[in-house]
Amino acid sequence: MSIPSTRRDLREQARRSPVLPGDASDDPGIVALEPRRRRRVGRMLGDAALWIAAAAGTVCILLVVLAMTAGITLILFRTGSMSPTIPAGSVAIVQRIPATEVEVGDVVTVDREGELPVTHRVTSVAPGESDAERVLTLRGDANASDDPFPYTVSTVRIVLFSAPGIASVIAALGHPLVLGGLTAGATLLVVWAFWPHAPRRGRPQTRAATRTTEER
């Protein structure tokens, strides 16, 4: 192997030699790529957060539309009277329907004046004083007997389906401080996404390209 004797030979040997992993930090082209990679990762994370916020907003809008048009809402189960079918801490999606459509075996929510609503299974249905009214006897799946008294209703909310274990999350999201924080975070994300960014600069020349230019 010949020993390079001139500056041109030294440059030619350096250009042909592979760059070892330990020498990456000495390459200005590689060093210049690191901030760009960090900016790309930050933008990807920001975009992901925007998509999540957009999805959450879409769900909220959908729930509002369903509540106004189809009478579909959410209810939280704080007790286990409907266990094991609907354990405590569950969230159920319910829809308001006429009492004339209720059948034995349905799980319904009935409103009680001056008290919290009750959600139990229908064990019997009897006619009311009017054609639109029904007298319902209810019982929780975890209870050994029917509720102490029947309920005379013209409408009820029937349980469509339920999801266990997320009532605490839904309740926390409804807290004013949490709502304020989510609103502020979504606002910052939108401002960050639409804030004008500095124009991208051209790619830095690599060491090989620089040496080729010097040799010319």
Asked if pLDDT for residue 92 goes beyond 80, the answer is yes
Q: What is the pTM of this model?
A: 0.55
Per residue in 25-84, pLDDT tens? 455 554 455 666 776 776 777 667 666 666 666 666 666 666 677 678 888 898 899 999
Per residue in 194-213, pLDDT tens? 666 555 555 454 444 444 44
Tell me what pLDDT residue 166 has: 82
CATH number for 79-165: choose from 1.10.10, 2.30.30, 1.10.3470, 3.40.50: 2.30.30
Rounded mean pLDDT, 74-96: 91
Per residue in 110-169, pLDDT tens? 998 888 899 999 999 999 999 999 999 999 999 999 999 999 999 999 999 898 988 677
Rounded Cα distance, 132 and 127, in Å: 9
Amino acid at 87: P
CB 157 within 8 A of CB 96: yes
Domain spans of the chain, in order of start? 1-15+24-69+174-196+203-216, 79-165
Q: What are the b/e assignments for 198-216, b being 16+ CB within 10 Å?
A: eeeeeeeeebeeeeeeeee
Asked if pLDDT for residue 24 goes beyond 50, the answer is no
Question: Of 18 and 141, which is predicted with more confidence?
Answer: 141
Residue 4: pLDDT band (50, 70, 90) is low
Tell me what pLDDT residue 206 has: 47
Give the number of C-alpha atoms closer than 13 A to the C-alpha of residue 122, restricted to the C-beta side.
25
